[in-house]
Amino acid sequence: MPKGAPQTKNLEETRRGLEWNDLSIILAIAREGSLSGAARSLGKTHSTIFRNITSIEEKTGVRFFDRIDNAYVPTDAGRAALDRGERVEEEINALGIEILGQDTRIEGRIRITCPEVMATDILPGFVAKFRATYPDVQVDVMQGQAAVDLNRREAEIAIRATKSAPDSAFGRKICPFRFALYAAPEYFEAVKDIPLAEQDYCFIEGVANWLVPTMSTPE
């Protein structure tokens, strides 16, 4: 090669295809919009994620993100990688679920997400009995009402007060779940002429959306 000629051949030789580990880094950055957010979601440090994305872009010769006002915004290539990466992620998670279903050993980890009261007052007794029978199973109980993606293995079991399970999960009714409204007699006497749906309430997040419209004053 003549002296001073572009080193395009060497550059092409260093370019390699994306691997799943690369896609997982790109997915995390695209979803979080920052290196620090991606680091938290993947359990890594900011500097590690920076080195990872820099290495990915160098080895592929493709820029997946534009750095705009300290935010990482996907380029066209980044959006394409995000789209394909989510498909790959879905297939990998589905395979993991299928493989786990074939494993007859009762061991491993189960993450349960449920409302706070259930996590503190109800589940501990059930978990203790379960662990006495299956001591090799670790049970993690996470309190919260937010939606979780079971396909992404954010939890294995989600206990929610809802009328039906999402399409991505198998749902089973375990018990009725009812709410009652309470007020001091003085308060109720002061607002007895105001429709229930128009009064002020202190609700668990998300409950008011489906509870208040069904309220009616008792006979």
> What is the DSSP track for 64-96?
-EEEETTEEEE-HHHHHHHHHHHHHHHHHHHHH
Could you tell me the CATH superfamily of domain 106-158?
Answer: Periplasmic binding protein-like II (3.40.190.10)
Q: Which residue has the higher pLDDT, 1 or 173?
A: 173
Q: What is the pTM of this model?
A: 0.42
pLDDT tens-digit profile of 70-106? 889 999 999 999 888 888 888 877 777 666 666 656 7
Average pLDDT in the chain: 77
Mean pLDDT calculated for residue range 169-176: 74
At 163, the amino acid letter reads K
Distance CA 19, CA 117 (A): 43
Domain extents for the chain?
A: 8-99, 106-158, 185-214
Residue 208's pLDDT is 56
**Interior/surface letters 164-194, b for 16+ CB within 10 angstroms, e for the rest:** eeeeeeeeeeeeeeeeeeeeeeeeeeeeeee
Given a contact cutoff of 8 angstroms between Cβ atoms, the answer to whether 97 and 150 are in contact is no
Q: Which residue has the higher pLDDT, 132 or 10?
A: 132
Residue 146's pLDDT is 67
Residue 158 carries which DSSP code?
A: E
Q: Which residue has the higher pLDDT, 97 or 160?
A: 160
pLDDT tens-digit profile of 19-77? 888 999 999 999 999 999 999 888 889 999 999 999 999 988 899 999 888 889 999 99
- Strand boundaries in the chain, DSSP class E: 65-68, 71-74, 108-114, 137-143, 157-158
Residue with structure tokens 């009616």? 216
pLDDT tens-digit profile of 136-151? 889 988 887 766 666 6
* Adjacency order of strands within the sheet including 137-143: 137-143, 108-114, 157-158
Is 113 in a helix, a strand, or coil? strand
Looking at 3.60.60.10, 1.20.1740.10, 1.10.10.10, 3.40.718.10, the CATH number of the domain 8-99 comes to: 1.10.10.10
| pLDDT band, very low/low/confident/very high, at 204 (cuts 50, 70, 90) | low
